[in-house]
Amino acid sequence: MILPGAKLQWQFKAFYLYGAVEPLSGERFFLECSHHYSPELNPIERLWQHMKEQLSWVLFSTLDSLQQSVTDILHELTPRIIRSLIAYPFILSAFKYLEKWY
């Protein structure tokens, strides 16, 4: 627990901070800070990147044409492609662990 004796300005740029923090007011709350961009913590980021690569530098004349292109990309996704995009080692090990239980 952190009990500051004076006002502090905390810089949350590139580190994690977990724990119960008691500010000067005496209130208790939990403070959790993370990196601004952590694609390995949110695997959907790789899928979005895959889609953006296919849609970049394309000029769509209507919103409907953009929507149709996104729909086409999503329909082309196979389990193999999705696995290749989001298969971080810690995710694969979690699935292997779950297979023991189901």
Alpha carbons 52 and 42: distance in angstroms, whole number: 16
Dihedral sign for Cα atoms in the order 36, 42, 43, 46: negative
Single out the residue of 15, 18, 49, 19 nearest to residue 35, CA to CA.
Answer: 15
Better-scored residue on pLDDT, 53 or 13: 53
Residue 21: CB atoms within 10 A of its CB come to 16
pLDDT over 50 at 79, yes or no:
yes
Alpha carbons 76 and 73: distance in angstroms, whole number: 5
Mean pLDDT confidence for 55-73: 94
pLDDT over 80 at 58, yes or no:
yes
Average pLDDT, the chain: 73
pLDDT over 50 at 89, yes or no:
yes
Residue 33: CB atoms within 10 A of its CB come to 14
pTM: 0.51
pLDDT over 60 at 66, yes or no:
yes
